[in-house]
């Protein structure tokens, strides 16, 4: 077997075929690598590999057309038919030689992630999983070409038929979708020959066991069919021609059956056992919080997907993989695909407005909720190019929130105090409350005798006029009984003694001036535009490593937390040691410190807790800027302000029923590389022109020399 392998492998480099195969593969890959990875700066090799999968339609027929057809044409196949070496070893040795030629090209491609890593940030695990999938797909194509070559003595016919079979496997996903978008028995049968479906998962950052089993089993099946094809011809030369014909057919059916059963068996395994998420963002892995919540589900929940299943899988592998994880996590979760072309009015059972394609409708025992597809992704605008780009994936957060919403009848209520010039929460901050399944109601204290009993918390967002003494007492009485509040302060030249008295009961004081930063690393453009230091805490973990934008802050001062103190304080945001509060902003001459200004540092955001009794604890979140909880400020730091807000307010709702479970957005760590234009040009010349020409020239030279001999 080793001798056959060496002879075959050597033959590919004694002719032009091996050199041509490697040269064409590297030339096309180099072209996309230069454009996508170097010029555009994308550090994901999968972009280039996905773009060149069609190359196997051209290169594999050329590589495999002669492996058996040439020997049959020259009648040297008689040596195979009478060889003492087992037929399986002969077939495998020839196949292995072609795989070795292909693997040389893959080895060169495998160096490219290291090059990107040297130039910037590159996700190596995702890159090499994509390369593995590309290699498995290529090996499978070679096995198909090997089988076709054993059927004919014409290399041209072998190449044409191989191209046809590979093209059919390449297009099978689109073909089945044309036959039926909802799927039927025919599409399931045809789908078994969809050669690229599993490759998509590898290129998306999933090490997929079902994909490995599929490609390996199909490869073995076609090698088995190759051996059967040759075996049948061997016995056709003898008296046992008829008997072997029956035997060969039975073996072929048996081989196909084994491959089908094996793939079906692996396909029934839960995705938690068959898929490994290698993405940096863990896009395809649901968090422990979601798993724990789903494990406790008591009632059935149906997730309707407004898409054809086959269409969804080809358009959004992230969403389809996530839905599989939810199904595996609970027997109470079922996923049903509703193609809008087949069921155009299905959504009217749940909403009056037509959701976008691929949206989700979650239906439980108590109610339903529509999750629009656009809400699954977090986007931001790049103002340098005025283009919108995806910055995060919130599929798990939105879906888990929707399941909690439909499973629970009573949602926690938070009252937003109005009547004192407060700023109404809107945009991403209202969405954060909705995601936490918190009902928000506005409350005018003048019209109420007290804070309603069903209040989980109150929000006081930057009053610009003072509370009445009666209003302040209502809030104080509520907090004294173990209430919770989210309070922001805004800079104003008005005196607000009643409002500040609410905070004073917890020994929290607001400085009268506006905080000025002198540390250039602690502000953005303007010394009033603070970028406060983020302390490590439960509430700031979601924004760790990010920035919080806090413009126009009043300084917060509180006593140090003593071991036996009634009130405990946790600083969340702080200004630098060189900051100070400018007390007369209206008449300030400069940003420099003047007489009467108050030295910092100051607390910009804090949590305060006071135990009332064994069952109740007063909790306050106090922030020194109202503007920081506006959409404009939030966009400056790509949503970090909203994440901090969400983390704080979601703690208000009771977790006994799990209705307030909040899963943060999974940030896209979009790895980028920055390469100079000259480097791109040199790489293009080297990868796309020089290297392929050198390889091709070497092959032609060797072929010419051998021909003269």
Q: Which of 503, 596, 600, 585 is nearest to 555 (CA)?
A: 600
Q: Which of 108, 320, 129, 149 is nearest to 206 (CA)?
A: 129
Higher pLDDT, 672 or 286: 286
Note the pLDDT of residue 313. Answer: 47
Do the domains spanning 281-410+657-668 and 411-634 agree at the CATH topology level? no
φ, ψ at 238 (rounded to 5°): -115, -175
- DSSP annotation string for 439-455: EEEEEEGGG-SSS-TTE
Q: Residue 148: is the preceding peptide bond cis (ω within 30°)?
A: no
CA 214 from centroid of its chain's CA atoms: 24
Note the pLDDT of residue 247. Answer: 46
386: pLDDT confidence band, cut at 50, 70 and 90?
low
Average pLDDT of the segment spanning 659-681: 75
Note the pLDDT of residue 233. Answer: 65
- Sign of the Cα torsion 52, 58, 61, 66 reads negative
β pairing state of 556-557 and 509-510: antiparallel
Distance CA 304, CA 337 (A): 6
Note the pLDDT of residue 168. Answer: 94
Higher pLDDT, 669 or 67: 67
Note the pLDDT of residue 382. Answer: 58
576: pLDDT confidence band, cut at 50, 70 and 90?
very high
Residue 240 has pLDDT above 80, yes or no: no
Note the pLDDT of residue 246. Answer: 42
What fold is seen in the domain 281-410+657-668? Glutaredoxin (3.40.30)
* The residue to which tokens 């994308």 are assigned: 42
Note the pLDDT of residue 230. Answer: 81
Q: Give CA separation, 536 vs 219, 272, 619, 675, in Å.
A: 53, 32, 18, 36
Residue 81 has pLDDT above 70, yes or no: no
Neighbours of 448 (CB within 10 A): 12
Q: Give CA separation, 652 vs 358, 435, 455, 459, 569, in Å.
A: 33, 14, 10, 11, 17
User: Quick one: DSSP state of residue 655?
Assistant: -
Q: Give CA separation, 490 vs 191, 289, 540, 626, in Å.
A: 61, 36, 22, 5
Three-state SS annotation for 422-435: CCCCCCHHHHHHHH
φ, ψ at 484 (rounded to 5°): -130, 145
Question: Could you tell me if 572 and 550 are in contact, meaning their C-beta atoms sit under 8 angstroms apart?
Answer: no
Torsion of CA 614, 618, 619, 625, to 10 degrees: -170
Note the pLDDT of residue 75. Answer: 65
Average pLDDT of the segment spanning 129-136: 96
* The residue to which tokens 């999938």 are assigned: 133
Neighbours of 364 (CB within 10 A): 21
Q: Which of 182, 220, 211 is nearest to 312 (CA)?
A: 182
The domain made up of 411-634 is a member of CATH 3.40.50: yes
Residue 661 has pLDDT above 60, yes or no: yes
Identify the bridge partners of residue 569 per DSSP, sorted by sequence position.
608
Note the pLDDT of residue 239. Answer: 45
83: pLDDT confidence band, cut at 50, 70 and 90?
low
φ, ψ at 525 (rounded to 5°): 65, -45
Distance CA 541, CA 648 (A): 11
Least confident of 127-136, 180-189, 561-570: 180-189
Question: Could you tell me if 121 and 43 are in contact, meaning their C-beta atoms sit under 8 angstroms apart?
Answer: yes
Question: Could you tell me if 515 and 553 are in contact, meaning their C-beta atoms sit under 8 angstroms apart?
Answer: yes
Burial class (CB in 10 A: 0-12, 13-18, 19+), 189: exposed
| Residues above pLDDT 70, as percent of the chain | 91
Distance CA 547, CA 488 (A): 19
Q: Give CA separation, 333 vs 162, 342, 346, 358, 583, in Å.
A: 43, 23, 20, 18, 58
478: pLDDT confidence band, cut at 50, 70 and 90?
very high
- What is the rounded average pLDDT for all residues in the chain? 86
Average pLDDT of the segment spanning 411-437: 88
Neighbours of 592 (CB within 10 A): 12
Neighbours of 521 (CB within 10 A): 8
Distance CA 662, CA 651 (A): 10
Average pLDDT of the segment spanning 672-696: 83
Q: Which of 57, 60, 63, 55 is nearest to 29 (CA)?
A: 55
Residues 6+ apart with CB under 8 A from 486: 457, 458, 459, 460, 461, 620, 621, 648, 649, 652
Note the pLDDT of residue 311. Answer: 54
Distance CA 317, CA 328 (A): 17
Q: Which of 575, 572, 621 is nearest to 598 (CA)?
A: 575
Residues 6+ apart with CB under 8 A from 383: none
Q: Which tokens is 406 given?
A: 């439909």
Q: Which tokens is 593 given?
A: 């410190």
Note the pLDDT of residue 387. Answer: 60
Note the pLDDT of residue 248. Answer: 65
Q: Which of 141, 116, 105 is nearest to 218 (CA)?
A: 141
Burial letters for 88-114: b for 16+ Cβ neighbours within 10 Å, e otherwise? eebbbbbbbbbbebbebbbebbbebbe
Q: Which of 91, 151, 238, 148 is nearest to 83 (CA)?
A: 91
Domain ranges of the chain: 2-203+677-708, 281-410+657-668, 411-634
């Amino acid at each position: 077997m080793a001798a056959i392998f060496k002879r075959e492998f050597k033959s590919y480099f004694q002719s032009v075929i091996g050199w041509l195969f490697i040269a064409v593969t590297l030339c096309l890959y180099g072209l996309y690598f230069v454009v996508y990875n170097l010029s555009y700066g994308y550090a994901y090799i999968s972009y280039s590999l996905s773009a060149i999968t069609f190359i196997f339609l051209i290169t594999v027929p050329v590589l495999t057309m002669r492996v058996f057809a040439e020997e049959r044409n020259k009648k040297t196949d008689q040596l195979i038919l009478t060889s003492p070496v087992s037929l399986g070893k002969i077939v495998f040795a020839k196949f292995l030689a072609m795989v070795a030629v292909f693997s040389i090209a893959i080895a060169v491609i495998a160096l490219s992630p290291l090059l990107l890593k040297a130039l910037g940030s590159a996700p190596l695990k995702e890159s090499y999983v994509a390369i593995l999938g590309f290699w498995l797909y290529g090996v499978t194509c070679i096995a198909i070409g090997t089988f076709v070559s054993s059927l004919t003595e014409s290399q041209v016919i072998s190449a044409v038929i191989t191209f046809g079979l590979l093209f059919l496997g390449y297009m099978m996903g689109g073909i089945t979708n044309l036959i039926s978008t909802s799927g039927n028995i025919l599409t399931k049968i045809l789908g078994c020959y969809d050669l690229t479906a599993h490759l998509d998962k590898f290129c998306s950052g999933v090490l997929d066991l079902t994909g490995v089993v599929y490609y390996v089993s199909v490869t073995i099946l076609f090698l088995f069919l190759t051996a059967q094809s040759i075996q049948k011809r061997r016995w056709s030369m003898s008296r046992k021609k008829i008997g072997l014909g029956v035997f060969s057919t039975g073996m072929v059916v048996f081989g196909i059956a084994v491959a089908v059963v094996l793939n079906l068996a692996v396909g029934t395994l839960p995705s938690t056992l068959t898929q490994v998420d290698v993405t940096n963002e863990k896009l395809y892995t649901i968090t422990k919080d979601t798993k724990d919540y789903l494990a406790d589900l008591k009632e059935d929940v149906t997730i309707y997907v407004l898409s054809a299943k086959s269409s969804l899988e080809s358009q959004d592998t992230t969403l389809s993989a996530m839905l599989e994880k939810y199904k595996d996590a609970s027997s109470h979760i079922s996923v049903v695909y509703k193609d809008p072309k087949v069921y155009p009015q299905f959504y009217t059972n749940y909403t009056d407005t037509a959701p976008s394609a691929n949206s989700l409708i979650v239906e439980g025992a108590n109610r339903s909720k529509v999750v629009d597809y656009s809400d699954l992704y977090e986007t931001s605008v790049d103002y340098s190019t005025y283009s919108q780009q995806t910055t995060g994936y919130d599929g798990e957060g939105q879906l888990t929130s929707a399941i909690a919403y439909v499973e629970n009848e009573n949602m926690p209520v938070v009252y937003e105090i109005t009547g004192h010039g407060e700023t109404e929460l809107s945009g991403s901050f209202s969405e954060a409350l909705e995601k936490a399944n918190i009902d928000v109601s506005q409350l005018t204290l003048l019209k109420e005798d007290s804070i309603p009993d069903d209040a989980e918390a109150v929000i006081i967002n930057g009053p610009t006029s003072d509370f009445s003494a009666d209003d302040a007492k209502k809030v104080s009485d509520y907090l004294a009984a173990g209430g919770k509040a989210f309070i922001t302060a805004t800079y104003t030249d008005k005196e607000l003694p009643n409002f500040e008295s609410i905070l004073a009961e917890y020994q929290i004081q607001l400085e009268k001036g506006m905080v000025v930063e002198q540390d250039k690393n602690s502000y953005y453009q303007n010394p009033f535009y603070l970028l406060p230091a983020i302390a490590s805490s439960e509430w700031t973990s979601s924004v760790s490593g990010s920035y919080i934008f806090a413009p126009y802050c009043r300084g917060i001062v509180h006593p140090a937390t003593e071991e036996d103190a009634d009130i405990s304080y946790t600083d969340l945001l702080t200004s630098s040691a060189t900051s100070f509060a400018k007390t007369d902003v209206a008449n300030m001459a400069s940003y420099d410190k003047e007489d009467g200004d108050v030295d910092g540092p100051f607390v910009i955001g804090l949590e305060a807790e006071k135990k009332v009794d064994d069952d109740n604890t007063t909790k306050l979140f106090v922030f020194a800027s109202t503007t920081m909880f506006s959409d404009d400020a939030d966009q400056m730091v790509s949503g970090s302000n909203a994440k901090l807000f969400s983390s704080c307010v979601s703690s208000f709702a009771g977790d006994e029923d799990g209705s307030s479970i909040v899963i943060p957005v999974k940030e896209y760590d979009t790895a980028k590389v920055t390469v100079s234009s000259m480097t791109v040009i040199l790489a293009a010349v080297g990868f796309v022109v020089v290297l392929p020409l050198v390889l091709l020239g070497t092959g032609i030279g060797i072929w010419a020399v051998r021909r003269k001999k």
